[in-house]
Structure 1
Amino acid sequence: MQFIFQIVYLIVTVAPVLILLSLAGKKYVEMVNVLDKKEFGMRDLFPIGFQAMDMSGYKYGNNIDRKLRRQIRELYNPDYTEFYLRVYWAGGVTFIFVGFLLSGVLNFFMGTLGLVLGIAFGAFTAYSLFNGLNEKIEQRHMKILIDMPDFTNKILILSGAGMTLRAAIIKISDEMSLDTPLYRTLTACVDKMKNGETDEAAFEIMSVQCNTPQMRRFVSVVLQNMKRGGSDVITALRDIGMEQWAERKATAMRISAEADTKLLFPMMLMLFSVMIVTITPAILSMNI
């Protein structure tokens, strides 16, 4: 009886995957090929998820989707927000189907334990895909926080030398080639300014893709100066710069504390190993 259940369950888990792959055909090849293989390691299976989501008629309009859109705009080109929203949902659904498929195969060889392991694998990988967005954004915010004080300081120096804020920002973008989130976003912002976009539209990229309180305040001050002018902007930027240096120092101390905590467990293992190496010969000699 159990053998029959295993066969039936295997068929039930394999059949949907094969059907979805057959229906997908080559419809999603171009969408899959543009994805980074390092970032989306199982991208070749994503047609399963794309086909399932299209067949479901999902509208991508609930609160979860709105949150995902905000996160995706920070990490990717805002023009491709809807594309990456579909990619993440397709990836999550793909992992669920792969988990069920794996549960069918493992159940055949390992019984109930294999079934549970397969389902757990699918659920964990799907969760990890979406949770990875939060981790990427946290790392991005930390890098932006580290770069912001130097960036603001450069603007203050150039502004003090007589340049307008707009000219100072363009000069920094042209001369700095750092491959960090802040400067990549700055380059995209300046490119739009040079191509005729309004300052408000261009700096919208900065506030969206560098969505930190420090950047939002900075953009607000810069746009206010570009609209109305005035000498108060230098004082405001100087105050912002001082706050950013304090936050950068606090962030560095937090990172240092986290590093110490991560090193604690390996150090304990090393101490335990040394104790074993030291004590074992003494115990063996006593037994002799």
Structure 2
Amino acid sequence: MLKKMKKQKKKLAILVLLAAVLLGIAAEWMQKQESHFKENCLIRNEPGEGDYQESLNYIEEDSGEKGQIVLNLQERTLTAAEWKEILPEAEKEAEEVFRNGQQADHVSGQVVLCERVKNGLISVEWKLEPDIWIDLQGNIEEENLLPGQVVNATAILSNGKNQAEYSFPICLYPSENQNETNLGKKIEQYLYNQNAEEKEVELPQNMDGVALRWEEETEKPLVIFLFLGIFAAVVILWSGKKEQQDAKKRWEEELVKDYPEMVSRLGLLLEAGMSLRQAWKKLTDTYESKRKEQRLPKRAGYEEMLLTRRELEDGMGESLAYERFGERCGLASYRRFASILTQNLKKGTVGIGRILAKESEDAFSQRKTMAQRLGEEAGTKLLFPMLMMMVVIMVILVVPACMTMHI
């Protein structure tokens, strides 16, 4: 098992080293591809990509002295031909964004005063005439607004070097929920005008001819707690079932571990001339004595033997007691063991030692197989932490590379 784990760690180390080399090569290649420095020249970013800083080293050829400088290089500006080509699309985009998905002859609620269009390539400033119906956030002032109110919107488009104005009219209308908004404002004003010294404030039953009925808006805690209770009950039941399954698995593993020793010792006592009942009692007495002296932990196989001994002391027949022992343990090996014991009672003890010795050898082989399986399971459980370590190492390698390439 240890050799296998060492091999896995060596493989993982080799993979990590190989990945680091490949990532380093890829990062260096990408850095060269992304570099703005080309043979004593700096390449500007395209319009809209923004300015950038470039750190360069220089060498004075006469003295050989070295230095470092950080240069700020502005993005490339649009040429006159490019500006002329992109301007109609920018004007159309500015108007569509401004109208916020509405038609020009019916705009309500809010408009969008965008600051840039064409993916940030062109900046936009807005001029409205008249400017009393739309605030700086684009909200339409609906108080005293007449349906169909015309507003001329002018977008001033610029990219620093070139500038153009684009105007278009829109018709403003009150939003459909204006009445609801006005009613809410009137109710708030009503409450504000009430006497603040009074503990209770009576809510209006009628406002501008509209009959009102009041209800408290609650979060319905009963439903929330009922849902949480159901969820907690499901989790508890699931966890209880999981614990039972884990406990049963551990119990069966302990039975498998105890079986070879138990069969071997019982066979030796029978070969020494003891009867089956005497040998059974001798084994359980020894186990019980060591348990009292705290020299031995609780072991599943011997606990089942102890229960069978008590059944025998209570008057149960030997054959039935051994059969019940095999059924309680549930494993095929214990059922086979119980069958051997019951046959021994019927046919006598001739050859029982040899049979139990053979059974003990088979049991030791099964225990060895189980130990190998548990070792493989342990190696599999270690695989996830090792993968997590690999991910951490990859991050440690990739992040500096990405920072170097300004990604």
8 A Cα contact 2:270 2:279, kept in partner: yes
Q: 1:223 to 1:3 in 2, by over 3 A?
A: farther
The answer to whether 1:133 aligns with 2:253 is no
Give the alignment's Cα RMSD to 1 decimal: 2.9
Partner of 1:96: none
**Quick one: which of 315, 319, 340 aligns to 1:196?**
315
How far residue 226 of structure 1 moved from its aligned partner, in angstroms, is 2.2
How far residue 186 of structure 1 moved from its aligned partner, in angstroms, is 1.2
Structure 2 CA distance for aligned equivalents of residues 271 and 130 of structure 1: 35
Structure 2 CA distance for aligned equivalents of residues 2 and 283 of structure 1: 55
Structure 1 CA distance for aligned equivalents of residues 393 and 344 of structure 2: 63
Structure 2 CA distance for aligned equivalents of residues 144 and 3 of structure 1: 61
**Which runs of no fewer than 5 residues in structure 1 stay unpaired?**
11-102, 108-114
**Quick one: which of 259, 271, 275 aligns to 2:390?**
271
**Quick one: which of 243, 251, 262 aligns to 1:151?**
262
Query: Structure 2 counterpart of 1:268, which letter?
Result: L
Partner of 2:220: 6
Partner of 1:172: 283
Partner of 1:59: none
Query: Structure 2 counterpart of 1:197, which letter?
Result: M
Query: Structure 2 counterpart of 1:158, which letter?
Result: L
- The number of residues matched between the two structures is 185
**Greater Rg over alpha carbons, structure:** 2
How far residue 254 of structure 1 moved from its aligned partner, in angstroms, is 1.1
Structure 1 CA distance for aligned equivalents of residues 311 and 356 of structure 2: 23
Q: Normalization by structure 2: what TM-score? A: 0.40
How far residue 200 of structure 1 moved from its aligned partner, in angstroms, is 2.9
Structure 2 CA distance for aligned equivalents of residues 276 and 190 of structure 1: 62
Map 1:183-262; keep pairs closer than 5 Å: 183-262=302-381
Query: Structure 1 counterpart of 2:330, which letter?
Result: N
Partner of 2:13: none
How far residue 138 of structure 1 moved from its aligned partner, in angstroms, is 2.2
Question: Which structure shows the bigger proportion of residues in helix conformation?
Answer: 1
How far residue 256 of structure 1 moved from its aligned partner, in angstroms, is 0.9
Structure 1 CA distance for aligned equivalents of residues 271 and 351 of structure 2: 13
Structure 1 CA distance for aligned equivalents of residues 356 and 216 of structure 2: 72
Q: 1:246 to 1:2 in 2, by over 3 A?
A: farther
How far residue 285 of structure 1 moved from its aligned partner, in angstroms, is 6.0
Deviations 1:58-88 (A, max 9, x none): xxxxxxxxxxxxxxxxxxxxxxxxxxxxxxx
Structure 1 CA distance for aligned equivalents of residues 242 and 388 of structure 2: 30
Identity across the alignment (%): 27
**Which runs of no fewer than 5 residues in structure 2 stay unpaired?**
1-214
Q: 1:258 to 1:2 in 2, by over 3 A?
A: farther
The answer to whether 1:122 aligns with 2:233 is yes
Structure 1 CA distance for aligned equivalents of residues 339 and 217 of structure 2: 67
How far residue 185 of structure 1 moved from its aligned partner, in angstroms, is 1.4
Deviations 1:204-246 (A, max 9, x none): 4422331111111101111221233141322322232222122
* Runs (4+) off by over 6 Å: none
Query: Structure 2 counterpart of 1:200, which letter?
Result: S
